[in-house]
A = this chain, B = another copy of it.
């Protein structure tokens, strides 16, 4: 049997034992060495089995003790279905709903499950403040002047240095800073498209991307997407002749939270390059992996500058700072030109502050903590949903990021649920926001970035109660 199959089979077998209860929560699983000896496989293959199970939150490592089965009450809920959008490009969508839900942003009387950012309690506020104050002193003219067009040098150097973690090999000069990741995505789309062009996306898709596409007069082609492996390359391949540009969020997409397998990343990158279709990669959640290793990117497999890789600290450090970047490959000149006319410069102070925080502030330590919190939140949310939501509810199995996708019974309208929940001071993101087609009316997204409390559990209970009432 080929190595690939061996590894997948072994991981599958162990997963089945865990899911069926043969191996119970808290129990120790066989060691790497035991697995290697027992099945006659290399230590590396055995390790890969465990990393896979860990990534799927089925087991967890305890320092100096080995791997144990995770507490996994929530795993009794099945996965949502793979999406099957029509292979038709659309250019209008649920604008009003999106605007309505986003207008809740900043409201202090609501539990904001709807906005996909980490709560301020989870952020290193004191350290960031210190960096801002230092930046007012270290920057020429106290940060009142423009930055160089390409952006803050320290920040660009650190983004490049950190690309080693995902085999990116970026250099400082490959990176342009932007005012957050959405600004990077908007600049990329403006550089690569004209009205009437067609943009291919995963489905479900982040509503902001749908809106920007509509704003630029693009036709949007939503592509079938699997809740564990991401976009269907088969489906994408069939649509290639229609596509001008493709935008993917392969790591912890804000709807389903999947991590596209490395092989798929490689395949999709090569496929698009071969057909001369630029790939915009939104990797803004890439550092929020629940498994031990930072996943790769499509950019890791980009050999000819066809991938425009975008990121930010909006999901990890400070949404309100507006600090992002893009490594635009061979489209650098176009991007610089657009940056000049649309924003001229980013806010020098916060870009310097974030650059220095990445350099010396313990970003990785903060990330470890944040990831742990988000993963623990996922478990808590999932357990609460299992307890309080209607029978038949399905949930995603995010492998990182901030989003939990919930699928209710076919007849449950989550836009109705949104309105009902709002009356109880709860804001959710109804599934219909994430598509231009007639899909996901029975889905919703919850943000995992709120600090877990008994009150939050109660809010989920309330939500489940409302969902039961709507379902009848």
Taking CB atoms, residues of chain B closer than 8 Å to A128 are 142, 144
Q: How far is the CB of A92 from chain B (nearest CB, A)?
A: 14
**Nearest chain B CB to A121's CB is how many angstroms away?**
8
Bound complex: CA A215 to CA B193 (Å): 11
Indicate if the CB atoms of B120 and A318 lie closer than 8 Å: no
With most chain B CB atoms within 10 A of its CB, the pick from A123, A317, A321, A349 is A349
17 more A-B residue pairs beyond the given contacts A106-B149, A132-B143, A215-B338, with a C-beta to C-beta distance below 8 A: A105-B149, A106-B145, A115-B146, A128-B142, A144-B317, A182-B344, A211-B337, A211-B341, A215-B341, A319-B344, A319-B345, A320-B345, A321-B347, A322-B346, A347-B347, A349-B349, A349-B350
Q: Does A233 contact B (CB under 8 A)?
A: no
Cross-interface CB contact of A141 among B99, B115, B120, B180, cutoff 8 Å: B120
| Total count of chain A residues near the partner, CB < 8 A | 62
A131-178 interface (Cβ within 8 A of B): 132-133, 136-137, 140-149
8 inter-chain pairs at a CB distance below 8 angstroms, sorted by A residue, are A99-B336, A105-B146, A115-B146, A182-B342, A186-B342, A208-B341, A319-B344, A349-B350
- Which residues on B sit within 8 Å (CB–CB) of A194? 195, 217
Q: Which residue of B has the minimal Cβ distance to A313?
A: B144
> Which residue of B is nearest A211, CB measured?
B341
Nearest 9 pairs of A and B residues by beta carbon: A120-B141, A144-B318, A320-B348, A125-B142, A106-B148, A129-B136, A211-B341, A347-B347, A212-B341
Report chain B residues within 8 Å CB of A345.
Answer: 180, 319-320, 322
- Given A343-B183, A349-B350, also A120-B95 (CB < 8 A): no
Q: Does A117 contact B (CB under 8 A)?
A: yes
Does the CB pair B105–A125 fall under 8 Å?
no
- Shortest distance in angstroms between A420's beta carbon and chain B's nearest beta carbon? 24
A285 CB → nearest B CB, Å: 16
Q: How far is the CA of A322 from the CA of B95 in the complex (A)?
A: 28
- For A348, the closest partner residue in chain B by CB is B320
Copies of this chain present in the complex amount to: 2
**Residue from B141, B147, B341, B347 in contact with A350 in the complex, judged by beta carbons closer than 8 Å:** B347
Q: By the criterion CB–CB under 8 Å, are A146 and B320 in contact?
A: yes
Instruction: Report whether B211 and A102 are in contact in the complex, using a CB–CB cutoff of 8 Å.
Output: no
Chain B hits for A141, CB < 8 A: 120-121, 123, 125, 320
Task: Give bound CA distance, A288 to B99, whole Å.
Answer: 37
Given A99-B337, A350-B347, A144-B132 contact (CB < 8 Å): no
Cβ < 8 Å to B, chain A residues 335-388: 336-338, 340-350
CA–CA, A120 to B146, complex, Å? 10
Q: Which residues of B contact A121 (CB under 8 A)?
A: 141
Contact A344 B123, CB 8 Å, known A144-B318, A319-B146, A321-B349: no
Q: In the complex, what residues of B have CB within 8 A of residue A336's CB?
A: 99
Residue of A126, A147, A319 contacting most chain B CB atoms (<10 Å): A319
Judge whether A396 is part of the interface by a CB distance below 8 angstroms: no
Q: Which of B99, B120, B180, B321 contacts A140 (CB 8 A)?
A: B120
A73 CB to nearest chain B CB (Å):
32
- The answer to whether the Cβ of A111 comes within 8 Å of any Cβ in the partner chain is no
The answer to whether B349 touches A182 (Cβ under 8 A) is: no
> Is A179 on the interface with B (CB-CB < 8 A)?
yes
